[in-house]
Amino acid sequence: MEIAAAVASGAVAQNARTYHRVTDLRARGEPFTWVLGGALCLGIVMIVGFLLLVLWNGFLTFVPRPVAVVTTTAGKVSAGEVARTDTFRPAPDALAKLAPDAQEKIKKAEGFAGRTLYRIGNFDLYSEDFRWIDDNEIKSTEYPKNIVYVERQEWGPFIGTVKAITLDGKPAEGTDFSAPAVASAYSEALARGKRVREIERDEIGNVNHEVERARLAVRKAELKSGRDSQAYKDAAAHFEQLSVDSRGEYERLTAEVQRLRSINDKFTVTFAEIGGREKTVPMVNIVRAYMPNDLSFAQKVGVYFSRWGEFLISEPREANTEGGVFPAIFGTLAMTLLMVIAVAPFGVMTALYLREYAKQGRLVAFVRISVNNLAGVPSIVYGVFGLGFFAYVIGGSIDQLFYPERLPNPTFGTGGLLWASLTLALLTVPVVIVATEEALAAVPRSMREGSLACGASKWQTIRNIVMPRALPGVMTGIILAMARGAGEVAPLMLVGVVKLAPELPIDGHFPYVHLERSFMHLGFHIFDVGFQSRNSEAGKPMVFVTTVLLITLVAVMNAAAIIIRNRLKRRFVGSQF
Amino acid sequence: MALATATASASTAQPVPQSLHFDDTVVHVKRGTQGVVLDIKNLDLFYGASQALYGVNLTVEQGMVTALIGPSGCGKSTLLRCINRMNDLVDNIKITGSLSLHGENIYARGADVIALRKRMGMVFQKPNPFPMSIFENVVYPLRIDGVRDKNILQETCERALKGSALWNEVKDRLDQNALGMSGGQQQRLCIARAIAADPEVLLMDEPCSALDPIATAKVEELIHQLSGTYTIVIVTHNMQQAARVSDNTAFMYLGRLIEYGDTEVIFQNPLAQRTQDYVTGRFG
Ligand SMILES: Nc1ncnc2c1ncn2[C@@H]1O[C@H](COP(=O)(O)OP(=O)(O)OP(=O)(O)O)[C@@H](O)[C@H]1O
Ligand SMILES: [Mg+2]
């Protein structure tokens, strides 16, 4: 009866409804789709634009560029790579001095003139690396084939011509760099240079390390049992003995270094800059030399990749604006991994307690809000906290307890890899907690019930059923934390990142892993090279390259985590049909 | 007092069920020979402010199959979940009355819930396999008891899967993920899991709602096999199934137990008017 009535009224309603042939545009919601699509496009354009800018600049930095020799109307000659061009408005009095046709041209361009920045190198001779030259003043531009571009260990690049080559004190025939005699002399000189570094860094370092250990042992014995004890006397005697022994060793090593250096001093190349001034450079100081205006395509590719290779595996030189960033790559990776090791268990345990064990009430809601708000605290505040709490309080106590002999030099009582990782862990823990909580909440209740109904305890249920199922979500949290942590710089400056740390946190001295050491970080490196260096123009390309590297590193770490997460997802979540 | 009378009269006149009223429930239980396993007295249950069960009194006979029927939302699942204290997980729930297993109140203070649940197996209305291999799913109850012996685990797995009519389909892929199975297979897997640890009482909440007729027949056969040794409480919407597999049937309506007694009587000649209406399909 009722049903019949309902059907009848439905029929009436149908008749009352008006039908359009085409559904109204507003009803279809098309305009909203356009707005949403537009928003998406804008977002994508911004991100892609940024990435393209960074990638474009980053990947072009190492391309060898031709060197132009520019003669101005005033007769001044400069040689350099074009760094960038610019337009500017010349001052009226400068304008007045120009040739009439140039003045005319500037007037046409509404008072604007062009200029070009050349990287002229030869900082030791010119006291400048870059020079602006107005386009109007240029008389001629040439690309002579005999110009060489030399990357040196010191003073940055040299641009000029080869005047003479000296091998073992005697002038060599010709000025050809690729002649076999020169090439082999060069590689021998490099080998000697490498040996010198080995001796200075590792072998003398080892000697010093031994002596330092003996000295610390003396200090320790003194602190522990006093100056009159036998232990102190033994240690002191050992120290004396070692100091004497090491002196001999030290002298032998320095003599060897002297000898190698004096040999290397006899292998030199004399260059002349474009104005004719000469500069003699020991071969060992030449990192790379090529003729930029006379390179075949293959040679260009070779220079390009050899620069990338140097960048990735060697240490920085020239106040970080040249050379490689290997210590920074290592530091970034080590810190991020340590951070994940710290943040994952901590965040997961917190979330487990909050979601599974705590009685859901006002207190828990308050804690949850506080955790979420922590994510909004400026990261520098975490840096201050990390320095005060981790380094000074905890690190200071560790020093008092375990390394009293080294005081007043701090061991753990100052910024270092460990404290930086823990500070970042603290910074990113809200992300992990929130993601984990969400993942736990998403575990179907029926699964928990199934486990409990089998007689599993709550903990067994969490461990066997809930955690595996929530793991992909937890991984998402860790990925986000990692991305945030790897890109963070501000707090690190306070808790252990430094401009230059040649000693890696892992080396051959016991205990091999030195978490207390300060380290380098790609993010800080970008800041340092771009804004803190003597010559920020020279550092600029390095900023882009380092940014490309940092982005790649974060992307690779994230990709690895995402692959793991997808594996877990396939295994634990699956389809329900 | 009324319960005592019921027991006495039932044991004297076994074949002809007698009707008895306590509270409003019509009772004519077919008594088993092994006594009572579960004794539910005056069970009231509140989800927050709304009451889902009203003074339910029910005794479940050992070794017999008891079916719970009634329209959707009448509280069958709720009652079933009280038996293994699954409702403890629900927030804001209040349960009064008593529920005893072999005379032991399972809602007593300090009762060991985990031990209680180990004596019962449960099959849920919706399949809920765990995100692990088929094998691990079946032996999960043994795993959590710390059983490591490969042979025991394998035997148990095979026996349980055969019991739930799944063995032939999955015997070659025991190490595959259970989440990759079809819905019906998943449900049979859950049945296998429920019987793997030899529970005394098997609680089944519409176990066959996702199964095809062949699997349903197998499960019913399993229930037949198990009855006698195990006590089974089964919720079902399928009247024929209730009539086929159960010894006693309880008819619930709006949170109240209307009639509880011999299945044959319930389906052929119910004593309460509501039961009559329901089993003949006049409302529901
Ligand atoms: N967790 C809960 N919170 C609040 N109310 C609930 C909860 N679970 C069930 N209820 C209510 O309790 C009543 C009984 O629900 P129950 O699930 O026991 O019904 P049922 O008889 O199993 O129904 P069906 O045959 O559809 O499964 C329903 O009115 C339902 O809305
Ligand atoms: Mg139900």
Q: What is the pLDDT of residue B19?
A: 37
Closest CA to A434 of A469, A468, A383, A481: A481
Q: Is the pLDDT of residue A514 over 60?
A: yes
State residue B258 phi and psi, 5-degree precision: -85, -50
3-state secondary structure of A126: helix
Confidence of residue A202 (pLDDT cuts 50, 70, 90): confident
Q: What is the pLDDT of residue B78?
A: 93
- Put simply, the answer to whether A454 touches B182 (Cβ < 8 Å) is no
Confidence of residue A16 (pLDDT cuts 50, 70, 90): low
Q: How far is the CA of B110 from the centre of ligand 1 (A)?
A: 27
- CA atoms of A500 and A494, how far apart (whole Å): 15
B positions 192-231 inside 8 Å of A (CB)? 193-194, 197
Which chain B residue shows the shortest CA-CA distance from A457? B114
Q: Which ligand has the shortest distance to the CA of B89? A: 1
Are B54 and B78 in contact by the 8 Å Cβ rule? The answer is no
Q: What is the pLDDT of residue B217?
A: 87
A positions 316-375 inside 8 Å of B (CB)? 360
Percent of chain A with pLDDT over 70: 93
pLDDT in tens, A156-173: 889 988 888 888 888 877
Chain B interface disruption, residue of A454, A464, A467, A576, most B CBs within 10 A: A454
Are A428 and A339 in contact by the 8 Å Cβ rule? The answer is yes
Task: Give residues whose Cβ lies within 5 Å of ion ligand 2.
Answer: B 77
- What HEC string does A316-383 produce? EECCCCEECCHHHHHHHHHHHHHHHHHHHHHHHHHHHHHHHHCCCCHHHHHHHHHHHHHCCCCHHHHH
Average pLDDT over residues A90-109: 79
- CA atoms of A124 and A249, how far apart (whole Å): 37
Q: What is the pLDDT of residue A15?
A: 55
Angle at which helices B150-163 and B183-196 cross, to 10°: 130
Amino acid identity, position A342 = A
Q: Is the pLDDT of residue A491 over 70?
A: yes
Look at chain A and count its residues: 577
Are B61 and B30 in contact by the 8 Å Cβ rule? The answer is yes
Average pLDDT over residues B127-140: 91
Q: Is the CB of B140 under 6 A from ligand 1?
A: no
Closest-CA distance, B126 to chain A, in angstroms, reads 8
pLDDT in tens, A355-380: 888 888 899 999 989 988 888 888 89
Q: What is the pLDDT of residue B209?
A: 85
Q: Is the pLDDT of residue A424 over 50?
A: yes
The domains of chain A are located at: 65-169+266-294, 188-263, 328-571
Q: What is the pLDDT of residue B192?
A: 92
- CA atoms of A267 and A559, how far apart (whole Å): 49
Confidence of residue A14 (pLDDT cuts 50, 70, 90): low
- CA atoms of A306 and A297, how far apart (whole Å): 14
Contacts of A452 in chain B (CB under 8 A): 86, 89, 117
Q: What is the pLDDT of residue A30?
A: 78
Q: What is the pLDDT of residue A44?
A: 95
pLDDT in tens, B174-231: 988 888 888 888 888 999 999 998 888 999 999 888 788 888 888 888 888 888 888 9
Q: Is the CB of B73 under 6 A from ligand 1?
A: yes
Higher pLDDT, residue A516 or A55: A55
Closest-CA distance, B132 to chain A, in angstroms, reads 7
Mean pLDDT across chain A? 83
Q: What is the pLDDT of residue A452?
A: 92
Are A349 and A436 in contact by the 8 Å Cβ rule? The answer is no
Are A455 and B85 in contact by the 8 Å Cβ rule? The answer is no
Contacts of B141 in chain A (CB under 8 A): 454-455
3-state secondary structure of A395: helix
pLDDT in tens, B99-108: 999 888 988 8
Cross-strand partners of B261? B28, B249
Closest-CA distance, A460 to chain B, in angstroms, reads 7
pLDDT in tens, A114-159: 889 998 888 888 888 888 888 888 888 889 888 889 888 888 889 9
Q: Which ligand has the shortest distance to the CA of B252? A: 1
Chain A interface disruption, residue of B83, B114, B126, most A CBs within 10 A: B114
A positions 451-490 inside 8 Å of B (CB)? 451-457, 460, 464-465, 468-469
- CA atoms of A410 and A399, how far apart (whole Å): 7
Contacts of B86 in chain A (CB under 8 A): 449, 452-453
- CA atoms of A359 and A526, how far apart (whole Å): 47
Cross-strand partners of B21? B26
Average pLDDT over residues B223-240: 88
Average pLDDT over residues A16-31: 69
Number of A/B CB contacts below 8 angstroms equals 82
Atom of ligand 1 nearest to the CA of B93: 3
Q: How far is the CA of B76 from the centre of ligand 1 (A)?
A: 8
Judged by a CB distance cut-off of 8 A, whether residue A92 touches chain B is: no
Q: Is the pLDDT of residue B161 over 50?
A: yes
Q: Whose CA is nearest to atom 31 of ligand 1?
A: B73
Percent of chain B with pLDDT over 90: 32
Closest CA to A514 of A425, A422, A403, A418: A418
Average pLDDT over residues B46-71: 91
Tell me how far CA of residue A213 lies from CA of A239, A410, B33, in angstroms: 9, 15, 86
Higher pLDDT, residue A238 or B238: B238
Q: For domain A328-571, which CATH number applies: 3.30.1490.20, 1.10.3720.10, 3.40.50.300, 3.40.50.410?
A: 1.10.3720.10
Which chain B residue shows the shortest CA-CA distance from A470? B131
Contacts of A575 in chain B (CB under 8 A): 179-180
- Residue whose tokens read 């809000």: A369
**Taking the CB of residue B1, how many other CB atoms lie within 10 A of it?**
6
Angle at B177 between CA B175 and CA B182, to 5 degrees: 120
Are B128 and B190 in contact by the 8 Å Cβ rule? The answer is yes
- Put simply, the answer to whether A454 touches B89 (Cβ < 8 Å) is no
Q: What is the pLDDT of residue A17?
A: 63
Token output for B42 = 């005056």
Ramachandran assignment for B126, one of left (phi > 0), alpha (psi -120 to 50 degrees), beta (any other): beta
**Which of A449, A456, A573 is opposite residue B86, by nearest beta carbon?**
A449
Angle at A439 between CA A433 and CA A445, to 5 degrees: 130
- Put simply, the answer to whether B128 touches A455 (Cβ < 8 Å) is no
Which chain B residue shows the shortest CA-CA distance from A569? B131
Average pLDDT over residues A241-253: 83
pLDDT in tens, A300-333: 999 999 999 988 888 887 667 777 888 888 888 8
Q: What is the pLDDT of residue A45?
A: 96
State residue B47 phi and psi, 5-degree precision: -95, 100
pLDDT in tens, A522-537: 888 888 888 877 666 7
Q: State the DSSP string of chain B.
A: -HHHHHHHHHHHS-SSPPPEEETTEEEEPPP-SS-EEEEEEEEEEEETTEEEEEEEEEEEETT-EEEEE-STTSSHHHHHHHHTTGGGGSTTEEEEEEEEETTEETTSTT--HHHHHHTEEEE-SS----SSBHHHHHTHHHHHTT---HHHHHHHHHHHHHHTT-HHHHTT-TTSBGGGS-HHHHHHHHHHHHHHT--SEEEEESTTTT--HHHHHHHHHHHHHHBTTBEEEEE-S-HHHHHHH-SEEEEEETTEEEEEEEHHHHHHS-SSHHHHHHHTTS--
- CA atoms of A440 and A429, how far apart (whole Å): 16
Confidence of residue A577 (pLDDT cuts 50, 70, 90): very low
Judged by a CB distance cut-off of 8 A, whether residue A442 touches chain B is: no
Q: Is the CB of B75 under 6 A from ligand 1?
A: yes
Tell me how far CA of residue B6 lies from CA of A7, A85, B14, B22, in angstroms: 51, 105, 11, 10
Q: What is the pLDDT of residue A528?
A: 84
